[in-house]
Homo-oligomer: A and B are copies of this chain.
Amino acid sequence: MSGDGRTGALELGGMAGSVPLGGAHSPLSTRIIGASDMARMVEIVGRDQFMDLMIDALRDRFERFDPDNVQVRSRDGFRYDKPDLGLIEWMPTHEVSGPVVVKMVGYHPTNPMQRRLPSVIATSAMWDTTSGHLVTLGDATLLTSVRTGAASAIATDLLARSGPVRLGVVGLGAQAVTQIHAISRVRPIERIIALDVDEEVAATLQERIAFIGVDVEVVDSGRAATITSEVDVLCTCTSVDIGAGPVLGEAPPRPWLHVNAVGADFPGKVELPLSLLRTALVVPDIREQCRLEGECQQIPEESIGPELWELMRAPASAHAAGRVTVFDSTGWAVEDDAALRLAHDLATRFDLGTDMILESISRDPYNPYSPPIGL
């Protein structure tokens, strides 16, 4: 990692690749990591350090990713327009001889305006595959924001020009905060040009990212027409509607421009203009999902570059000098797996979370009515 202001890495023994079944809890209890545990975890570790740990955890997972040893199911779920527009999806993954991790994620775009709730609310859970016991259940709302930032940081570190960068951000909701934070951990940020169709949301960005210590220039949303020519790194994190994209204009991009296309992952939703994608190296997080929901919907399969984890194997050959690059980030279950394992290990280390006997494990395995173990 080449970010500024970074403190030394917190060492977490045995985290990578291990099946985290240890800790102080009983082998049949479930550790619940709730909102207060997550907040305390970030407070103890420090916000910057927590982001760094997430970047390291994802980078480690990507580097050792072996498609023959990991099963990932396509994200699937229920989409509905009653009582309001929304979806609830599941993102399951299983590492051979390791745990099963499933993130359940809801996306309800009217939440912030109508209910003062985040649009994304999520939980993740991890099962021991020896017995089928639920080991951990945790909030994944904060984790999803942080891991989405961390994935952009990894792509940016690999693909953007080195040295200080001008950062553009289009769409200034919750994701913008963790995108900017994550980028700041891998590149010094000279300045930020930020815009949103909602002026009230735009007006609060500076305060929300005050802890990062970079000045934000909030510009009129019309500036989206030319922003590709003004910045070195660009994050799009909008919730643009089906058929309403792209959110950017077709101004000639700056050489070396790197774009993290984060928002609006849904069939028919796109953020980037086709002209940009046509000349760019397009790196999906996971090809199949990006073709269904991401920017890769717009281009033929043969124009799609390597997945991010593949690119990490051969970073030198990443792209021709000055070529525009796009990270098509739709969110990968393997990232959520890594994020939950990090949270589980930190919870164990700092004694956070509540251990409960959740499952009715009857004392006589042949009698469901016999008293449960733990009572």
Residues of chain A touching chain B, judged by Cβ–Cβ distance below 8 Å, are 32, 34-36, 38-39, 42, 47, 71, 73, 76-78, 80, 82-84, 86, 88, 90, 92, 94, 96-97, 100, 102, 104-108, 111-112, 115-123, 125, 127, 129-134, 137, 139, 141-142, 145-146, 172-174, 176-178, 201, 204, 208, 211, 354, 356-362, 364-375
- Asked if residues A32 and B35 are in contact (CB atoms below 8 Å), the reply is no
Contact for A368 among B92, B130, B141, B369, CB less than 8 A:
B141
- Asked if residues A366 and B174 are in contact (CB atoms below 8 Å), the reply is yes
- Asked if residues B361 and A34 are in contact (CB atoms below 8 Å), the reply is no
Contact for A117 among B129, B357, B361, B369, CB less than 8 A:
B361
- Asked if residues A121 and B117 are in contact (CB atoms below 8 Å), the reply is no
- Asked if residues B80 and A365 are in contact (CB atoms below 8 Å), the reply is no
18 of the cross-chain contacts (CB-CB < 8 Å) are A34-B358, A35-B373, A39-B372, A39-B375, A73-B76, A83-B129, A88-B127, A104-B134, A108-B132, A118-B368, A121-B134, A142-B360, A145-B368, A174-B365, A174-B368, A204-B367, A208-B366, A208-B369
With a CB–CB cut-off of 8 A, which chain B residues contact A146?
368
- Asked if residues A119 and B365 are in contact (CB atoms below 8 Å), the reply is yes
- Asked if residues A111 and B360 are in contact (CB atoms below 8 Å), the reply is no
In the complex the two chains form, what is the Cα distance from A369 to B42 in whole Å?
Answer: 9
In the complex the two chains form, what is the Cα distance from A372 to B117 in whole Å?
Answer: 10
Interface contacts beyond A142-B360, A174-B366: sample of 9 additional A-B pairs, CB < 8 Å, sorted by A: A35-B360, A35-B373, A39-B372, A71-B78, A86-B129, A106-B133, A118-B365, A118-B368, A146-B368
Which chain B residue lies CB-closest to A354?
Answer: B356
- Asked if residues B80 and A129 are in contact (CB atoms below 8 Å), the reply is yes
Q: Would you give the shortest CB distance from A280 to chain B, in whole angstroms? A: 28
Interface centre among A73, A132, A357, A362 (most CB of B within 10 A): A132
Q: Would you give the shortest CB distance from A358 to chain B, in whole angstroms? A: 5
Q: Would you give the shortest CB distance from A93 to chain B, in whole angstroms? A: 9
Q: Would you give the shortest CB distance from A213 to chain B, in whole angstroms? A: 14
Q: Would you give the shortest CB distance from A72 to chain B, in whole angstroms? A: 10
With a CB–CB cut-off of 8 A, which chain B residues contact A125?
104
In the complex the two chains form, what is the Cα distance from A129 to B34 in whole Å?
Answer: 21
User: Which 10 residue pairs are nearest across A and B when measured between Cβ atoms?
Assistant: A106-B132, A145-B368, A35-B372, A112-B365, A78-B94, A142-B360, A141-B360, A35-B360, A121-B132, A208-B367
- Asked if residues B366 and A88 are in contact (CB atoms below 8 Å), the reply is no
In the complex the two chains form, what is the Cα distance from A47 to B97 in whole Å?
Answer: 39
Contact for A35 among B34, B80, B354, B359, CB less than 8 A:
B359
Q: Would you give the shortest CB distance from A214 to chain B, in whole angstroms? A: 15
With a CB–CB cut-off of 8 A, which chain B residues contact A100?
78, 88
With a CB–CB cut-off of 8 A, which chain B residues contact A142?
360, 362, 368
With a CB–CB cut-off of 8 A, which chain B residues contact A172?
366
